[in-house]
Chains A and B, each alone.
Chain A
């Protein structure tokens, strides 16, 4: 991407006096040139605004109940003891919440990738009556807010006796209209039709073609879809908050309970926030680059 930036300095040299007669010529900015101090000053400010709230919650979370009043700028020594207080508080259910978040997010992301890749392959590369219409319909449902479904879903799950169970947050999230749209867009561009025809001429069945042509081609987009679905499932709050019990929560639900339990002691609340954020910060360190390129790739195609 960066290599497409044209070496403008050369253009500039080839027409040495082109702009000199015009006013304001002295500050022609050449986009190919290295930007100066202010660019990095702005970027540093942006970076600090992104990182500071997290740092600061660690600072407060490692203090004690009076640390907010004292307004420290450096971490204190109580993080471990605060963390243990949060983790062992029976009202918060930290460990069940962590486990629930991990396995529900994994299951959801895996199922979404599976169903979306299959459906995306069909929409992108196989011609069948009703295909384009169905795809348009799926895309249209992406604008429908989550709130529109929660009342019947709640009734459905309470009939089944699933309220309070993690299954109630996994099952509704097993498919994603966005996922289908995403995989369709990607596969449409990345697999040439000739490749499929060649496989068919060679006598490969449809599922074999999907497996040997589609799946390898889909892998990069599928990995990104997995990441985004995982982060989304992990952070989801509205529906889990409705359907789950405080005894068996996910991390965001447990976090919201933390505040009603400890609303006087912010150091414990923020220690809990830090604890609950660490898993995704680890994910970000390893996969942040993929998240960045996923967002940027999606923007160009979508």
Chain B
């Protein structure tokens, strides 16, 4: 190329139409691609959330479909209701009875599945089977299992000469029954998540630990559990968000769906439904929804802190293994 051609070339760098189109394409396309999601999301996701906050400060008139501003009155009303505190107690009770045993079981089953078993896919599918059954269906099935008269469990107890349990009268036993439904549906799901995390652990650690004479139980507590930390945090946060919203199972626990004659299994969302679509008070229902959200955020944060500190201790105990591991590596 001759240098003489350059000066004439330089100043006239006109973009062709297709080049300009391409530039415009590059700039606009990303926004175009996210817009279907964001437009829908704004209408059915973001607007309702914001508007719930507005309604919660109002006395909503169902006939005229608008409200008058009354400040924090709806929140105060809810906090003064004994039913709210009962519902809060029941929700926590069911949440604890479902989350804690479920996670322990899930870790245990995942550890068993993590071994070098035959027919892996079959067993993995087996634990996931309950996941495809609708919560309402699970509720109806276990409702019969836990029926006060002639239910499966009370029948077996009767055969053993034991008195039947009043599943639908005693708050504690109704919580056990509902927590069993939740555990039935979700244990397998969480097992698979934890199993995936276990399989991601570097197998060299176990190798080194075996060589050093650590038994399977020691290996589990010193290697497996600390490695599960991020996954455990994820699972616990998810379980918190889902568990505190529980509605389907308590709703079908009897044919009336109002949490029992004495509010034995009334949960927060069940109460929200009753305020909103039983008493038709949308202002109070909206305030209830915000209270539920605040509770979920608070409990989620507390769980995050607890899990972090608990599993961090395990991590410290796990540290010597990696040191030994390094030593072994050097010896090789």
Q: Which residues of A are at the interface with B, using a C-beta cutoff of 8 A?
A: 1-2, 4-6, 8, 11-12, 15, 18-19, 22, 24-25, 27-35, 39-40, 42-43, 46-47, 49-51, 53-54, 56-57, 60, 68-69, 71, 114-116, 118-119, 121-123, 126-128, 131, 134, 138, 141, 143-156, 158-159, 171-172, 174-175, 177, 180, 205-207, 210, 231, 234-235, 237-238, 241-242, 251-252, 255-256, 258-260, 263, 266, 269-270, 273, 276-277, 280-281, 283-284, 288-289, 291-292, 295-300, 302
Contacts and interface: CB of A to CB of B under 8 A. Distances in A.
B128 A53 contact: no
B290 to A, nearest CB: 7
Interface string B110-143: 0011011110110111111111111111101111
Interface in B245-275: 245, 247-248, 251-252, 255-257, 269, 272-273
Interface of B: 22, 25-27, 29-31, 33-34, 36-38, 40-41, 44-49, 51-52, 55, 65, 109, 112-113, 115-118, 120-121, 123-138, 140-145, 147, 150-152, 155, 184, 188-189, 192-197, 199-200, 203-204, 206-207, 210-213, 215-216, 231, 234, 237, 241, 244-245, 247-248, 251-252, 255-257, 269, 272-273, 276-277, 282, 285-286, 289-290, 292-293, 296-297, 300
Given A283-B132, A291-B128, 20 more contacts: A8-B207, A35-B116, A42-B109, A68-B151, A71-B150, A71-B152, A71-B155, A119-B34, A145-B293, A151-B51, A231-B131, A235-B133, A235-B135, A258-B140, A266-B147, A276-B137, A277-B133, A295-B189, A296-B192, A299-B231
Contact of A206 (B25, B192, B206, B244): B25
B116 to A, nearest CB: 6
B289 A31 contact: no
Nearest to A127: B30
Contacts of A299: 192-194, 196-197, 231, 234
A4 B120 CA distance: 14
A71 B158 CA distance: 12
Contact of B140 (A145, A148, A207, A259): A259
**Interface SS of chain A:** helix
A145 B241 contact: yes
A54 to B, nearest CB: 7
B327 to A, nearest CB: 13
A126 B29 contact: yes
A174 B42 CA distance: 12
A259 B252 contact: yes
A184 B225 CA distance: 29
A22 B129 CA distance: 44
A53 B45 contact: no
Contact of B245 (A8, A30, A114, A147): A147
A251 B142 CA distance: 18
Contacts of A259: 140, 143, 252, 255
A118 to B, nearest CB: 4
28 contacts: A11-B211, A43-B123, A46-B126, A50-B188, A53-B142, A57-B144, A69-B150, A119-B33, A122-B30, A138-B41, A141-B46, A143-B296, A150-B276, A151-B276, A156-B48, A172-B45, A205-B22, A237-B247, A241-B251, A252-B136, A260-B257, A273-B140, A292-B125, A295-B196, A296-B196, A296-B199, A299-B193, A300-B196
